[in-house]
């Protein structure tokens, strides 16, 4: 397993335990499973530069967003962002594959800078046809407020593999980390502030 992903999962478990979520975590550990070899191959085919740390997370659990394991659908907080104390789910490999064109369909007008009032990071390309984003996470309210992407098609000012966060109302697209590993490290540095006891009840 990727060492950053391994460290991230160990710290997340500790955060759950410290917020009275031991029973929730242990049940999750008991029923979850990782992605199939076929989906690893498909994701790698679609995204040749997919980070090893993301594959490691998916090998650990193939999605936590109303994902069915052993006949039970779970909604389990696994990720966060720069939005303080706001939890996100990890999408499954199947959802990542299915959503491969979602960013182009949803955000082309933003990418093309059609609305002055919408803040778009200069590290993000302004050419929608070139967009290559991997949608890997939705926020706690079904992604309606925020989504996270790995950007493989940055502008000249950006870095391939940077993490883009979409926020709704007011709408914006902002780069929050230069890589997926840096993103995970940021969540660790913030001490998994998205895991709060009142949210786990």
pLDDT score at 141 = 85
pLDDT score at 65 = 94
Task: Give the DSSP H/E element, type plus range, for residue 200.
Answer: helix 197-200
pLDDT score at 119 = 96
Mean pLDDT in order along the chain per 10 residues (201 residues): 98 98 97 98 98 98 96 96 95 97 94 95 96 96 88 98 96 98 98 93 69
Cβ neighbour number for residue 138 with a 10 Å cutoff: 23
pLDDT score at 11 = 98
Task: Give the DSSP H/E element, type plus range, for residue 84.
Answer: none
pLDDT score at 166 = 97
Q: 5 and 59 in contact (C-beta within 8 Å)? A: no
Q: Are strands 88-90 and 72-75 parallel, antiparallel or unpaired?
A: unpaired
pLDDT score at 199 = 84
pTM above 0.95, yes or no: yes
pLDDT score at 36 = 97
| Nearest C-alpha neighbor of 110 from the set 149, 82, 159 | 149
């Amino acid at each position: 397993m990727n060492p950053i992903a391994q460290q991230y999962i160990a710290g997340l478990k500790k955060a759950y335990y410290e917020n009275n979520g031991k029973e929730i975590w242990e049940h999750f550990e008991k029923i979850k499973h990782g992605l199939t070899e076929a989906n690893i191959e498909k994701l790698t085919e679609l995204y040749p530069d997919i980070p090893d740390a993301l594959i490691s997370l998916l090998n650990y659990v193939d999605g936590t967003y109303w994902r069915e394991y052993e006949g039970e659908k779970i909604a389990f907080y696994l990720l966060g962002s720069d939005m303080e104390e706001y939890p996100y789910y990890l999408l499954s490999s199947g959802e990542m594959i299915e959503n491969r064109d979602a960013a182009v369909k949803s955000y082309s007008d933003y990418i093309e800078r059609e609305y002055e009032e919408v803040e778009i990071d200069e590290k993000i390309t302004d050419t929608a046809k070139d967009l290559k984003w991997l949608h890997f996470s939705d926020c706690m309210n079904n992604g309606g407020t925020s989504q996270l992407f790995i950007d493989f098609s940055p502008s000249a000012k950006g870095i391939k593999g940077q993490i883009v966060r979409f926020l709704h109302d007011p709408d914006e697209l902002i780069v929050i980390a230069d890589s997926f590993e840096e993103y995970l490290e940021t969540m660790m540095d913030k001490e998994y502030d998205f895991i709060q006891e009142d949210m786990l009840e």
